[in-house]
């Protein structure tokens, strides 16, 4: 027979034991900061985006075919080859987010991610999008440095929990 409690259940009693799985930081920026910045190249080649992402960031959260994608943007190297790719998306809430940023493993540390982020903000500004946000793993210090260097401001921290 179940015991009847004279108090509300605690969070742990309702959901069971949970452990922290991952921590995320949320950043945002006013795209007016990108005014006058050249835009990134907008691409519509889903097969090429998929191949690039599978090779350089297989854990990507957004893939071609996702209806939330507003535009896929790329930054290219001096040989006009893709160096970095990212998606500008519109969540159901209406928030525009930069996500699934991937830089060629051979070209990391050379500024291509920064070029992509700045250029994607230019695309957003040109399209009339005022604010862009993004989420990044708390452990991904190199990405945080890129976003902060471009002008993104930290707005919130989140922790994901899973059952123990």
- Which residues partner with 96 through β-bridges? 90
Q: Decide: residue 134, CB within 10 A, 0-12 exposed, 13-18 middle, 19+ buried.
A: buried
Angle between helices 141-150 and 112-126 (to 10 degrees): 50
Mean pLDDT along residues 86-102: 95
Number of residues that make up the chain = 164
* Percent over 70 (pLDDT), the chain: 96
User: What is the pLDDT averaged over residues 25-41?
Assistant: 88
pTM of the predicted structure, to 2 decimals: 0.84
CA distance 86 to 60: 10
Give per-residue pLDDT as tens, 109-152. 999 999 999 999 999 999 999 999 999 999 999 999 999 999 99
Band of pLDDT at residue 11, cut at 50, 70 and 90: low
Backbone angles phi, psi at 128, to 5 degrees: 85, 15
Token readout for 94 is 């209406």
Instruction: Indicate if the pLDDT at residue 17 is higher than 80.
Output: no
In eight-state DSSP terms, residue 7 is S
Domain ranges of the chain: 19-163
CATH 3.40.640.10 is held by the domain 19-163:
no
């Amino acid at each position: 027979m179940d015991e009847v409690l004279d108090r509300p259940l605690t969070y742990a009693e309702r959901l069971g034991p949970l452990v922290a799985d991952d921590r995320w930081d949320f950043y945002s920026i006013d795209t007016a900061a990108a005014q006058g910045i050249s835009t990134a190249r907008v691409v519509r080649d889903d097969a090429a985006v998929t191949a690039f992402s599978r090779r350089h960031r297989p854990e990507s959260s957004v893939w071609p075919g996702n209806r939330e994608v507003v535009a896929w943007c790329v930054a290219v190297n001096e040989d006009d080859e893709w160096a970095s790719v990212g998606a500008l998306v519109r969540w159901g809430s209406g928030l525009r987010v930069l996500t699934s940023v991937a830089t060629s493993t051979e070209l990391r540390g050379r500024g291509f991610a920064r070029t992509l982020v700045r250029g994607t903000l230019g695309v957003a500004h040109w399209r009339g999008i005022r604010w862009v946000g993004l989420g990044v793993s708390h452990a991904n210090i190199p990405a945080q440095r890129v976003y902060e260097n471009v002008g993104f401001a930290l707005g919130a921290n989140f922790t994901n929990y899973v059952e123990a």
